[in-house]
Structure 1
Amino acid sequence: MASITGDFVARLAAVWQRSSVSKEDCETLAEMLVPMDKAGERAVRHLAFDMEPADFDAAIEELAPKGNVE
């Protein structure tokens, strides 16, 4: 996603974490986030959920490994 930049990461840190991150670290984090965002965009096409939280939870439960989970 072209909109994930160092400036975007700096804004996220300021708003969500109330902290500041060095410009170099923001650029590094942006470089790390872009491939994850692209992978998520590819995977979402194959998942059966809309943007509703309940649909997301149902899709995650369906994908979760079955077994002795308590």
Structure 2
Amino acid sequence: SLKAEVLQGQWFTDSKQVQRAFDHWRTVYNLERPHEALAMKAPASRYQPSSRQYSADVKPPEYDEGVEVRKVDI
């Protein structure tokens, strides 16, 4: 949707102009535009904050005893 509605056939003179176009599109897409998959409601109408508290400290994973842990290098 972003490509078709904002970028297709558009020329921007600088990154600030692009950012303004993105910001406007995001507002319309999330707050105003109805979505068929949401019974014609905007996504913002369905938003609810997570009940889990955010933690910036990521704990290392814990594995059951006997599990073989492998590191994949791509």
- Identify the TM-score tier after normalising by the shorter chain: 0.3 to 0.5
Point out the structure with the larger helix share: 1
Higher Cα radius of gyration: 2
Return the structure number with greater relative CO, CA threshold 8 A, min gap 6. 1
When the two structures are superposed, what TM-score results if normalisation uses the length of structure 2?
A: 0.33
